[in-house]
Amino acid sequence: MPDSIQMRVTRYTPGDSAPTVADYDVPLRQDWSVLDGLNHIKDNLDGSLSYRWSCRMGICGSCGMNVQGTPKLTCGTFLSDYAPGPVRVEPLTNFPIVRDLVVDIDDFMEKLPKVKPWIVRNDEAGALIDREYLQTPEELEEYKQFSNCINCMLCYAACPVYGLDEDFIGPAAIALAERYDLDTRDRGRRERLDVLIEREGVWGCTFVGECTRVCPKHVDPAGAIQRYKLEAAKESVMAVLLPRGAL
């Protein structure tokens, strides 16, 4: 293994006419992640490089970037896998760039509440009952994978539909809607379907499946989208047969 690797990193400051690329040589060590490489640059070579990171253990979802063209969590992606290099590090695709490797995720933050990612039920009326809702391990298993979404935005960066149509509500938000729909404690399925049945809901998806492939937490947004499409299709057949209020 060579003892250094070149990182080709996107640089951009508001006001620049277009992003540029800067090359940095960083030590190549077996246990260094791409994020360790960026931190080496920031600490030793160029303090002006901006990127987000925090937990460095793949759970906070801050450090998503495109590495060699593929959306990755940089804390869990290793430089040695790209030896001898160079390795290209870019901001996540499909998002406006704020600065260098930092992207603007406002769009997701605005869409997420629309799918009501919380327990919807009306029988509690705010009063706390003194015991838990029962839920068997099998019932938990039904939605568990969807609850593992860390909002890292890799699926949005990988999604060709989101790239073309920014109104598409997108993979993570749909997976989180499914997470609550499949939870035995929830009664909000109907309300969420009303949102997802719209044009910018599940219908935008052409089932490319990239979202599921790039997910670092093994969530299956593509599967969630397919289930919603089936349900929405059933719904529209029913709507022809029955007036809406009868459902």
Partner 1 sequence: MSEGAAAAHDVLLVGGGAAGLRAAIAIAETNPALSVAVISKVYPMRSHTVSAEGGAAGAMAADDTLDEHAYDTVSGGDWLGDQDAIETFVQEAPRELLQLEHWGCPWSRQPNGRIAVRAFGGMKKMRTWFAADKTGFHMLHTLFQTSLKYADLRRYDEWFVTRLLVDDGRVHGVVAIELRTGRIETITAKAVVLCTGGGGKVFPYTTNANICTGDGMALAYRAGAPLKDMEFVQYHPTGLPFTGILITEATRAEGGWLLNKDGYRYLQDYDLGKPEPTPVLRSMELGPRDRLSQAFVHEVEKGRTIESPYGPVVHLDLRHLGAKLIDTKLPMVRELCLKYERIDPVKELIPVRPVVHYMMGGVSTDINGATPIEGLFAAGETACVSINGANRLGSNSLPECLVFGARAGNAAAEYASSAKPAPSVVLRQNDDEERRISQLLATDGGTEQIADIREAVQSTMEDSAGIFRSGDSLAKGIDQLAESRQRLASLKLADRTRAFNTELVAALELANLLDIAETILHSAISREESRGAHQRTDFTTRDDENFLNHALAYRDADGSPRIERLPVTITRWPPGERVYGR
Give residues 107-136 in contact with partner 1 (rule: CB under 8 A): 109, 112-113, 116-119, 124, 126, 128-136
* Contact range with partner 1 by CB under 8 A, out of 144-152, 157-165, 196-204, 233-241: 144-152
Provide the residue type at 64 as one letter: G
Rounded to whole angstroms, the Cα distance separating 90 from 9 reads 6
Pick between residue 15 and residue 243 the one whose CB is nearest to partner 1: 15
Q: Are 238 and 193 in contact (CB under 8 A)?
A: no
Compute CA distances 109 → 104, 106, 113, 115, 146, whole Å: 10, 5, 8, 11, 18
The minimum distance between CB 88 and partner 1, in angstroms, equals 21
Give residues 188-227 in contact with partner 1 (rule: CB under 8 A): none
Out of 25, 139, 166, 198, the only residue in the binding site for partner 1 (CB under 8 A) is 139
17 lies in the site for partner 1, by CB under 8 A = no
Rounded to whole angstroms, the Cα distance separating 206 from 203 reads 8
Q: Is 179 left (phi over 0), alpha (psi -120 to 50) or beta?
A: alpha
79 lies in the site for partner 1, by CB under 8 A = no
Pick between residue 87 and residue 182 the one whose CB is nearest to partner 1: 182
HSE-CB of 219 using CA atoms within 13 angstroms: 28
59 lies in the site for partner 1, by CB under 8 A = yes
Cα–Cα nearest to 153, from 107, 198, 119: 107
* Contact range with partner 1 by CB under 8 A, out of 1-9, 93-101, 189-197, 232-240: 93-101
61 lies in the site for partner 1, by CB under 8 A = yes
Out of 95, 156, 168, 180, the only residue in the binding site for partner 1 (CB under 8 A) is 180
150 lies in the site for partner 1, by CB under 8 A = yes
98 lies in the site for partner 1, by CB under 8 A = yes
56 lies in the site for partner 1, by CB under 8 A = yes
Pick between residue 218 and residue 244 the one whose CB is nearest to partner 1: 218
Q: Are 74 and 67 in contact (CB under 8 A)?
A: yes
80 lies in the site for partner 1, by CB under 8 A = no
Q: Which residue has the tokens 């640089």?
A: 11
100 lies in the site for partner 1, by CB under 8 A = yes
Contacts with partner 1 by CB under 8 A lie at 13-14, 31, 42-44, 46-48, 50-62, 76, 98-100, 102, 104-105, 109, 112-113, 116-119, 124, 126, 128-137, 139-140, 143-144, 147-151, 176, 180, 183, 185-186
